[in-house]
Structure 1
Amino acid sequence: MECAGRKVRLGGFRQQALLATLLLEAEHVVPIERLLEAIWEDTPPASAKGQVRICVSAIRRQFVGAGVGDLIETHPAGYRIRLPNTALDLARFAHLAALGRSAARDKQPEQAVDLFRSALAQWKGPVAAGLESRVLRQAATMLREEQLSVLEECVDLELQMGRHRKVVGELYRQVAENPYREQMCAQLMLALYRSGRQADALRQFRETRTLLSAELGIDPGESLRTLERAILAEDRSLEAPSRPAPAEPGRTAPVASLIRQPAHRAVKTSWTDHTLAMRTRLTSLQQANLRLQATLKL
């Protein structure tokens, strides 16, 4: 990993998973039980707490040896890593995304798009990539959801500003990677239609409908079906704005109202009590205090 421009060499999985868990909750004391779960899930050995102490000591030595100081504090309940607010890419992402949403509410779409794009640029890859840990996988999934939500908000504004041609390529890639996100599919359909590609827009709908039916046994949501009917009818409400115009606070353009539905309809999942607790603990992280990666190149 890299810290303050200096290379820090970590040991194996235990050290990497432990540090990743601390970074996800930087500035907060992480209970020892949570660290055990991140490393061993439900089957920690009898010596687990001792092994955690050894890992922490080894990481501290690496930090000190790299000249960045001892960043990890020991507390009765666990450990805390202390970092400047802008030290982690995900912290910068959260800050810029919040500024972007504020600018959008204040009818400053161009500034909002710039801030959203700056926020998205902070992502260098998946969170805690390569670490097989249930705790870290759950955190990574929720952080990815936040990233995609910011992207969808950004594209909504760009479509309202008449930048449909600019976003087509990016939307094709994102829809291929996230085929169940109906809002993203709708954004692509709208961008294609406004670019004079009605047939491609309708083909995208058919591909999404086929995928949802084959893999989940469901039809596209009402908003996506409504958009398909509007494209077939060449509804004038779908036309691109004649010139970029800011959206009113709390409102979207008429076409956006066709697609501003939940990004995708999740198939019912059986959550354990532990997973629900995990989601609760990560809520504040997801909203304003996202942590990790980029500086953590594991």
Structure 2
Amino acid sequence: MRGDDRRENPEGGFIIVPVLWILLALAGMAGILSVYLVNTAQALSLDEDHLRSAALVSAGLELAAYELTSQTKPQRPPSGSFSFRLDHARVSVSFRSEAARIDLNHAPKEMLANFFQVLGARADDAVEYAVRIIGWRTPPSDDAPEAERSLYRAAGADHMPRGAPFANVEELRLLVHLPPALADRAMPFVTVYSGRREINALEAAPEVLASLPGMTPDIMKSFLEQRTSLRRDARSVASLLGPARAGATVEMGDSVRVRTMIAFDNGRQAAAEVIILLDGGDDPYKILFWRDDGGAAAMRRQSAKAH
């Protein structure tokens, strides 16, 4: 055999290298594609769970609204709860009249000042916070068009008071001089959806009851001991509250806070808090506020559900 027949092809290695690069690139693309497909499948699963949760919350709202609107206003329960199974899930629903909370747009100054004292503020500071709430929600007058704004400028705030009703309770955090920790403590007890100066004494939390002008520790203790047996007897409630009765009511109002907890059979859970307005026109109810368990909120969503 001739010696030159055993010589290697110098270009052979250069042919193999591009092929290896192509194979590596294809393998990389396959890996990326598999990750994309996994992520897409997970996203679709989450979207499906979200859609199912929203549908189940809507079902709970339908049932709560039906339970309330099927009775005349004087007979509507100010609170209640029920549960049902649907779409491989257990759904627990509770509702309570929004009148059980202090309305930032309607509560009088004394009630607001008492409320902040109940939460731990000093008396003088509590009065100032109450004045700031009223200043936020009140349109500027011709006599003092810049009075409230000047306070915010002097405090170096990067915003001005609304000069109109609170759009949502989170605006409470924007008041000058109000400590953030105090605003946090106030959140479970305030609303902008009640539309009332008075609070529902039969449903209000002790912190809210203690804020009633004229309330004393003895009156409150006696009232709390007996209110479960009072039902909706306005005369008995007024008698027990004595001087604190002016800021109280037994009426439910038209706004209701509905909380929904969902436990899917596959172990997933979801929750939502929705405020609805009953008797809002042609529709059985309107959604004023919706917040799911992820914290996403939609303020004053004017959508409606029909039975």
Query: What TM bracket, shorter-length normalisation?
Result: under 0.3
TM-score by length of 1: 0.21
Scaled by the length of structure 2, the TM-score of the pair is 0.21
- Looking at secondary structure, tell me which structure has more helix per residue: 1
More strand as a share of residues: 2
Instruction: Give the greater-gyration-radius structure (CA).
Output: 2
Higher RCO (Cα < 8 Å, 6 or more apart): 1
